[in-house]
Chains A and B, each alone.
Chain A
Amino acid sequence: MRGGYIHNQVLVEPIVQKVLCIPGARVDQEVAIRVGDQFLYGDLLIQVGSQRILVEAELTAKRIENDLLKAAAMEPCELWVVVPNPLVKKAIQRKLSRQPIPMASVKIFVLLLPQTLQRVAEFSELISGSNDGRKKGKTIQSEELGVVASTDIR
């Protein structure tokens, strides 16, 4: 993976290992994303069922435009920008507030590593089973796994 020790070992690796503990989650590193005529690379792509999350580890606010371009091209459910400290977080948030966001459907989160790990855990819990046409209230995930959301869609 391109990137230094903090980028790879401190920020990306813990997320990869956390995602692997989620049953059925799939994680891909260095995902090629076609943006116009060129290929850019996303740090992590997490997939659980139909949910896709693009994760970008950033040590400074310099490359945030690139991250937005990647997210616009890939259209994941969420873009998580993982940063090493609150200073970088504020800088990225300021930069994001100043420029137009090209995609409205993608939710963008700027997170510190512990927040990211917490979000990974919560994210997996919030995914419910597919709607298989059963009656309301019979969803096994909601009853047995303590999941907030359920597949009560008819």
Chain B
Amino acid sequence: MKTKDEIPKLIQDVIYGQDHRLLDDDVGRAATHLLQHGVVDDLVRSLIQTPVRGHKINQAFIGPFELPALTHGDLVLGIDMRGKLIRIPSQYFNGHSLTVGGSGSGKTTKSKFLVMQFASNVEGLWCLDFAKKEFAMLKPYLARLGLKLLVIPARELKLNPLQCPEHVAPTDWAPRIADILVNILQLPARATKLIHLTILKLYPEFGISDGVQHYPTLFDLREAVANNPIANHQAKQAIVDSLDPVLMSIGSVLRYRVGWNTCDLARLKIVFEFSGIAETDKSLLLSCLILSEFTSRVAQGISNPVMDLFICCDEAARLVSAANQAGGIADLIGLVRGTGIGLDLSVQSSDVANEILSNTSSKFISRCGSARDYDTISGAMGLNHEQRIWLNTNLKPGLFVGQVGEGYWRRPFVFKIPQMNLRALSERVIRDENDLKELMALPTVMADEFVNWPSTGVNTTDGSSADIATSTREGGLSDAEIRYIFAVANNPGSPSSALPKLAGISARRAQKIRRYLVELGYLREHKNISTGKRGRLAIVLEPLEPALEIVSKIMKGQT
């Protein structure tokens, strides 16, 4: 094999030109063809050497990254180092994308820049605000384009995870949702079987197998599990303990037998604001939305279609974290690929699950805070040592290094995102009642028992929340919890330290149960009460109305 010095200069230029796709136009191809046939005159030489020389000169000014040969497409990704537009087909995002950059590096600006363009190109657009409220401000700007962006807080959603997506059989949906619940709620393996079995039993009970469309809710699932006398106690307790906080927190979202159909939502442009809810709740709602839509598409036999739903997740750190595989979307992302759903994830660090790195074809990195972030993403993007060193000192807010996963040009390149002139809007403008009207008009069926249930005040610890709890959870307390309530009711004024023995449970467990019952509104704590002449001040528990009702009901039942 010849060394580089032995190859003629002209041939070296041809190799360079072909490598950088400088000779792909008609003239370049003709010149190459002539050269292959031995025609080498001044004209051929000039046709080959001129673009190569120009490229080398340009390259000398822009550092170790090449100028991108991405000039065609309906999406402007940004501006290259020469100020030229970088264009790619928006369908490249069908293979998902990952953006890593520290706080203030321009991730959200990039997401907004892309969302403004995608809004015109795709039918459905879901912007998920996990930590901040950023996407809502795009609403008036999209209105200029004749596009309506709906902004909905997480607690206004109407979803039922047990509702089968369109075209999906209940028997197919049951194991999927059971797995999702187990992963998100971090339940033991044994609970998977119990949840799966319970859902399969609930569907015939509600007539789902006979064509009835009124599905059981997660409340029904919780009740069915809690009241199952033959179920494994630990699995049962784990499910109940994990479901309760979720039902208390976002019960208003989950109280529908028929919630919003994701196929309907996939035709709208929506900002989901998840910033005000717990991480577990976020994971549950996200999985419910994405998995339902994905499963429905798979059931319809859709495979590798044109992307018609773009999902943009800002600050998705917890969802993609390698340390939090359970609640994340790492499992989903590989499945979502090829169903016409494009997922754009933005995170602050490289703490990203391997599945996410493997299944995001386009990757972007901006200024990061640690060398580990640069190393991980550089490795995933295939940067060489020189390029990796360049990242340390040259990236600044709004400047990204990217690599697109589709098309013929797969080399990393540098680009800038223009700073859009967006103005912050007042809550009144963002929270337009007309938006919610449009969504509320989508068909839903609320479970009968929740018709008079207020959507607010669920988390309060006054009597009203206890009413809610008793109306929804009657008989759902565990034996130990009921024994504890009895101990409190039958021993008024006793210090909390005496109750474990009276209830027949350990002190540590009694402490957990006490906090739990106080949170639900069954008991009220009175702290620093003196119950004797000596010793430290005690906590005395007062049974509230719901607790007394349970006691009287059970006493009546026994008589």
Residues of A within 8 A of B (CB): 9, 13, 16-17, 20-24, 26-27, 29, 48-50, 127-130, 132, 134, 140-141, 143-145
Determine which of B112, B117, B418, B434 lies in contact with A134 in the assembled complex, contact meaning CB atoms within 8 Å: B434
Query: Which B residues are CB-close (under 8 A) to A23?
Result: 112, 116, 138, 141, 420-422
- Smallest distance from the beta carbon of B133 to chain A beta carbons, Å? 16
Query: Which A residues are CB-close (under 8 A) to B434?
Result: 134
Query: Which B residues are CB-close (under 8 A) to A143?
Result: 429
Contact assessment for B143 and A144 in the assembled complex, using a CB-CB cutoff below 8 Å: no
Number of B positions contacting A (CB below 8 A):
31
Residue of A13, A24, A27, A49 with most chain B CB atoms under a 10 A cut-off: A24
Given contacts A140-B143, A141-B143, contact A20 B83 (CB under 8 A): no
Contact assessment for A21 and B421 in the assembled complex, using a CB-CB cutoff below 8 Å: yes
- Smallest distance from the beta carbon of A62 to chain B beta carbons, Å? 26
Secondary structure class of chain B's binding surface, majority of residues: mixed
Given contacts A9-B83, A20-B76, A23-B141, contact A144 B429 (CB under 8 A): yes
Query: Which B residues are CB-close (under 8 A) to A50?
Result: 146
B452 at the interface (CB under 8 A from A): no
- Smallest distance from the beta carbon of A87 to chain B beta carbons, Å? 27
**Complex alpha-carbon distance, A141 and B429, angstroms:** 9
B432 at the interface (CB under 8 A from A): yes
A-B contact pairs, 14 of them (CB 8 A): A17-B83, A20-B85, A20-B418, A21-B418, A21-B420, A23-B138, A23-B141, A24-B141, A26-B120, A48-B145, A130-B144, A141-B143, A141-B144, A143-B429
- Smallest distance from the beta carbon of B265 to chain A beta carbons, Å? 20
B411 at the interface (CB under 8 A from A): no
- Smallest distance from the beta carbon of A7 to chain B beta carbons, Å? 14
Determine which of A16, A21, A127 lies in contact with B85 in the assembled complex, contact meaning CB atoms within 8 Å: A16
Contact assessment for A127 and B144 in the assembled complex, using a CB-CB cutoff below 8 Å: yes
**Extra inter-chain contacts (16) besides given A127-B144, A144-B423, A144-B429, CB under 8 Å:** A13-B83, A13-B84, A17-B83, A22-B420, A23-B112, A24-B120, A24-B141, A24-B145, A26-B120, A27-B85, A48-B145, A130-B143, A140-B425, A140-B429, A141-B143, A143-B429
Contact assessment for B140 and A130 in the assembled complex, using a CB-CB cutoff below 8 Å: no
Query: Which B residues are CB-close (under 8 A) to A134?
Result: 434
Encode B418-450 as 1/0 by CB contact (under 8 A) with A.
Answer: 111111011001001010000000000000000
**Complex alpha-carbon distance, A29 and B79, angstroms:** 13
Residue of A17, A20, A130 with most chain B CB atoms under a 10 A cut-off: A20
Nearest CB in chain B to that of A29: its residue: B85
Residue of B79, B145, B423, B434 with most chain A CB atoms under a 10 A cut-off: B145
Contact assessment for A17 and B79 in the assembled complex, using a CB-CB cutoff below 8 Å: yes
Given contacts A17-B83, A50-B146, A132-B148, contact A22 B421 (CB under 8 A): yes
